[in-house]
Structure 1
């Protein structure tokens, strides 16, 4: 019996519009679908020409132009309720100043000063930056809470950011900001893009922190 529905297709296509090329593991985390359900919806989307698969060293699933058209149709058919829309708009507005703080913390993680890259040999310095990240994390949890209560996928960002932060505290320095590593920075960027897409906004100067 099939479990693929317009809602699961919408979840998949929205995740791909946010992420771009995405592995199955990341898609499962973004959509909340288990392995079997994810395989089923990807297979159906492939058959319909909504996505394509890339194999090789950098593998995963991508949305196609036809998939973007279908996503627009599904968003029109399943719009946010007024309550959901108000909550996401408020989350986006509250996100922007925290985003600026996060960018400054990331800059400190990457560079100790204007000319000295952070090679992570100074554990005292790293601990101070991680403490700053902890404070940013506390802020973003508060920012997302009202919207996450009514738009389920936003709650998944809470969980994924918390896990990435846990990995940083466990000593995985790459879990802070390494690209394509499901790092805290990766997930933060996805959240930012999700808020833009969900509210129908284009990235502007305010989004640059």
Structure 2
């Protein structure tokens, strides 16, 4: 493929969000095809902007120090339009209270009503937490509804969150919060980091609330 400046930025941005990223993640984040992701990763590897890691547990791509510098330069050369930046700021501000509520639901999933580790032996308790997650999902989808108009990448999160929620509702407990499994929590954390990077904000107390 003939990589565009936008494609290069989006792939480097995805790596800034994720750290070590599988090709499937890069496809979901960038909207590129599997073939184009593979080709672009090869190009960026040759330029020293990314590296491939192959481990028994996980294989993927990581951004290098040179890649981070290139990412910053691309961002300066093609900044968001003021209207798009304003929209992202609005989405970020609306996201924060939902993020706080989501943390409460995650805590409820990890601990039972007595404050003990949740062994998931009480189906009624788990069903209630999953219902609460469903309500959070509706809130965050409403928050994100204008985001894709400002930045196409942000418009891809609702489908990814919905897919994780569907897995949870179908009985896949790992889809709630298991790390590195494209769980709902994984996608949520990626969304949060994406909003911070896109809005060019540092994480602060409001993000931890």
Please report the TM-score for the alignment, with normalisation by the length of structure 1: 0.97
Quick one: distance in 1 between partners of 2:117 and 2:43?
Answer: 46
Q: Give 1:113 deviation, angstroms.
A: 3.9
- Is the deviation greater in 111-120 or in 185-194? 111-120
Aligned residues: 208
Aligned-partner Cα distance in 1 for 2:27–2:179: 19
Partner of 2:50: 51
SS in structure 2 at match of 1:182: coil
Distance across 2 between alignment mates of 1:170 and 1:33? 29
Instruction: Find the aligned partners of 1:116 and 1:160 in 2 and give their Cα distance.
Output: 30
1:143 aligns with 2:105: no
Partner of 1:61: helix, strand, or coil? strand
Are positions 1:180 and 2:161 aligned together?
no
2:38 matched residue in structure 1: 39
**Structure 2, unpaired ranges of 5+:** none
How far is the alpha carbon of 1:3 from its aligned partner? 2.8
For the Cα contact (< 8 Å) 2:85–2:150, is it kept in 1? no
| Residues in 2 aligned to 1:44 and 1:132: alpha-carbon distance in whole angstroms | 44
Q: How far has the Cα of 1:115 moved from its partner? A: 4.0
Alignment-derived partner of residue 7 in structure 1: 6
Point out 4+ residue stretches in structure 1 off by more than 2 angstroms. none
Deviation at 1:148, TM superposition (A): 1.6
Find the aligned partners of 1:31 and 1:122 in 2 and give their Cα distance: 39
Task: Tell whether 2:93 aligns with 1:93.
Answer: yes
Alpha-carbon RMSD: 0.9
